[in-house]
Each structure stands twice: as C-alpha cells, then as structure tokens.
C-alpha cells in the first residue's frame, strides 16, 4: 500500500486587522474600557489577525445566523479557490487529477456549498469524491488528514484537504464575561489547503495518528448554534485538562514508533492561546523554543480554528528525515495528533 504524503500547502487570507487597533477602535467603547478585557486583549499573544468582517467596518455582532451564513457564502468560495489553487501549484498537480476533495469548516454551511463551488471553479473531474468535515472545531484538520490519508492509501489517488474558517462572522454581542472576551481576542480567519499524494516522494509522510476524548469535560469547550451565529464556550479550566491528557496522547502516538517527545524534531501544536501552549510545553517537557512556530502563527494570524495547524505546517520547513508532531484540541474535550516524517 502506498504512503500518503503532504506534497503541497497553500493559504489564502482576508485583509489583516491590527490587534491593538481592534481594541482601541472597537472593543474599548463597547466594553466600557473594562481593564480586565483590555488585559486579556494585550495578553492574548496575538499581534494581528485576518477577517472578512472587520468589526470596525462591518459589525456582525447583532446579525442573525441566516445573515451570517449568507455572508459566509459570499466570502468563502474565493478564499477556498485561492488556497486550493496555491496548494495544487505547490504540489505541481492538476485539479483534474484530484480524486477526493475534503472541506473542514465549523463556521459556515450551505448546500450547494464550498465543495461544490470548487468542483466547478477549479474544476474537478466530475467523478471526484467530496467530503464535508463539519462542526468539529479547532482540531478538525487532523481527523480530516486521517480520513484523506486513508483515501489516498486505499485508492492510490491524490486528494485535497481544505480547512476554511471565517470566525469573524460569529462575533457575539459585547460582554465583559472573561470567557467571551478571550474569544473576541483570539480568533481569526484563514483558508489553508493540503494536497496529499500516494507516493514516497518529497513532502511530509503521514506516519500515524492518534485521538483521545475526555467526555467528562465536554462542557469546557463548546460551539453552540444560536440565533446570533455560533457561540464559543471556552472554560479557563481547559489548560488544566490538557495538562493531564497531552502526555497520554503523545504516548499513544509515539510509543508504537519507539519515540518519545524528546526525539521529535518539530512541533505543530494548535495555539488555542498562550496558556494552552505553555501547558503543552510543560506537559511534554519541551525545550523553550520547541513551539516557536506555533507562537508565531498565533501572533500573526490568531487562532484560526481548524486552519491553524495547516498554517503552522506550512511554516515549519523540516529537513528530510526529521519528525513532526501535529496536535490540536477541540470540543469533547478531544485531543488529536499526527506523526509526520519529512522525506525527499
């Protein structure tokens, strides 16, 4: 059976928004200059984000869910097309050769959706398969990679995984509730595509994947559909739970390959926030610079939900033979990981 290798990565981003300007020009007045909220914004680890709905220009906080979905339908297809086209070019692959297109998103829905739009705009072969990975949240890229990798190995055909999240369309009405302020301070928009090929050529080989679910803490991280868009629930206790579970996830992923965290060359850890990264760093005994790329992506893009780990993978540039571990976390509370090996 052939390997599944990530050969191409492409990203598309809406316009950037400066984090300080977001506070000064929008949230400061709406939150009454609340000092705690200002500290949360300043301590988020985010310098700028990208947004299809800049709240200083297009404040969606009181929009209905239907209006937000219409806006998603307007903005998502062009970003999706740019990201997939860039990934195909990076992989030197024609769209007509793609056997499966999988789209992961938890921020917008409609049928016909982005997958069908792409089938026409790329265009895909009419016989190509399509898969939607919906509403899994920040960790969806790794289940998507798992499923797409299985398809590539089983069918010896190329496949594309697109992670597209427009979190700015789910801004909630202003509140000084710290959990909601954290959400307003962290999230950004991005579309990132991965092209997987069934060969042993250059790229990142998907060597293994692992999951852990902790349903006893499912209320710690939620993503609820409401009349005013999708509302994030993010408990301050999440890092504590991850601290208990992340070592077990690493063990499940690495033990079968005779590896420990100390043997891993590069890390692509989802930056759910600075505390999340600090917790993973401590829990796995990592060197102080091990998560530098995750922190850089958080600073320059924010938390882009499922698109974030693919953004990090696009900036790692490992040398042949190096190992990469990707990790992400989401509702459930769920932890997902992938072991990748760089090859030439």
In order of start, what are the domains of the chain with their CATH numbers?
A: 5-197 (3.40.47.10), 203-343 (3.40.47.10)
Q: What is the pLDDT of residue 326?
A: 98
Task: Tell me, rounded to whole angstroms, the distance of Cα 270 from its chain centroid.
Answer: 7
Q: What is the pLDDT of residue 274?
A: 93
CA angle 172-113-11, nearest 5°? 75
Would the pTM count as exceeding 0.85?
A: yes
Q: What is the pLDDT of residue 218?
A: 78
Q: How far is CA 73 from CA 138, 232, 259, in A?
A: 21, 21, 44
Listed residue (162, 83, 90, 94) closest to 130, CA to CA: 162
Q: Are strands 129-134 and 100-105 parallel, antiparallel or unpaired?
A: parallel
56/41 Cα distance (integer angstroms): 16
Long-range contact pairs involving 123-127 (C-beta distance under 8 Å, separation at least 24) = 123/95, 123/96, 124/95, 124/96, 124/98, 125/96, 125/97, 125/98, 125/99
Q: What is the pLDDT of residue 66?
A: 98
Q: What is the DSSP string of 269-319?
A: E--S-HHHHHHHHHHHT--TTTTHHHHHHHHHH-B-GGGHHHHHHHHH-PP
The encoded tokens of residue 263 equal 């043997």
Listed residue (221, 336, 224, 277) closest to 46, CA to CA: 277
**Beta-carbon count within 10 A of 67 CB:** 14
Task: Tell me, rounded to whole angstroms, the distance of Cα 115 from its chain centroid.
Answer: 18
Q: 103 Cβ partners below 8 Å, 6+ apart?
A: 80, 113, 114, 115, 118, 130, 131, 132, 133, 162, 164
| In contact, 43 and 19? CB cutoff 8 Å | no
Grouped pLDDT means (10 residues each) for the chain, 344 residues: 94 97 95 95 97 96 98 98 98 98 97 96 98 95 96 98 98 92 96 94 96 83 93 82 88 98 98 93 94 98 98 96 96 92 96
Question: Residue 18 pairs with which residues in a beta bridge?
Answer: 48
The encoded tokens of residue 151 equal 């398809």
């Amino acid at each position: 059976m052939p390997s599944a290798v990530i050969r191409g990565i492409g990203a598309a981003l809406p316009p950037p928004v400066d984090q300080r300007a977001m506070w000064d020009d929008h949230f400061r007045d709406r939150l009454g200059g609340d000092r705690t909220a200002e500290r949360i914004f300043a301590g988020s680890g985010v310098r700028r984000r990208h947004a299809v709905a800049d709240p200083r220009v297009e404040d969606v906080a009181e929009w209905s869910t239907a209006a937000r979905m219409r806006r998603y339908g307007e903005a998502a297809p062009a970003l999706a097309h740019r990201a997939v086209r860039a990934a195909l070019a990076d992989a030197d692959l024609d769209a007509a050769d793609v056997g499966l297109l999988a789209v992961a998103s938890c921020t917008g829905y409609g049928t016909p959706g982005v997958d069908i739009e792409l089938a026409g705009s790329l265009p895909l072969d009419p016989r190509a398969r399509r898969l939607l990975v919906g509403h899994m949240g920040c960790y969806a890229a790794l289940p998507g990679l798992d499923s797409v990798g299985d398809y590539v190995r089983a069918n010896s055909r190329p496949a594309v995984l697109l992670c597209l999240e427009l979190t700015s369309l789910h801004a909630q009405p202003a509140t000084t509730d710290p959990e909601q302020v954290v959400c307003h301070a962290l999230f950004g928009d991005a579309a990132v595509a991965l092209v997987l090929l069934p060969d042993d050529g250059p790229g990142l080989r998907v060597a293994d994947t692992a999951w852990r679910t902790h349903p006893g803490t499912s209320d710690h991280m939620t993503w609820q559909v409401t009349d005013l868009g999708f509302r994030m629930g993010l408990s301050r206790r999440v890092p504590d739970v991850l601290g208990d579970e992340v070592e077990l996830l690493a063990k499940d992923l690495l033990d079968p390959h005779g590896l420990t965290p100390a043997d891993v060359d590069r890390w692509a850890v989802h930056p759910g926030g600075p505390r999340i990264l600090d917790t993973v760093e401590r829990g796995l005994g990592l060197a102080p610079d091990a998560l530098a790329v995750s922190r850089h992506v958080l600073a320059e893009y924010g938390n882009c939900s499922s698109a974030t780990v693919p953004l990090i993978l696009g900036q790692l540039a490992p040398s042949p033979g190096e190992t990469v571990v990707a990790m992400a976390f989401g509702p459930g509370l769920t932890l997902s990981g992938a072991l990748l090996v760089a090859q030439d």
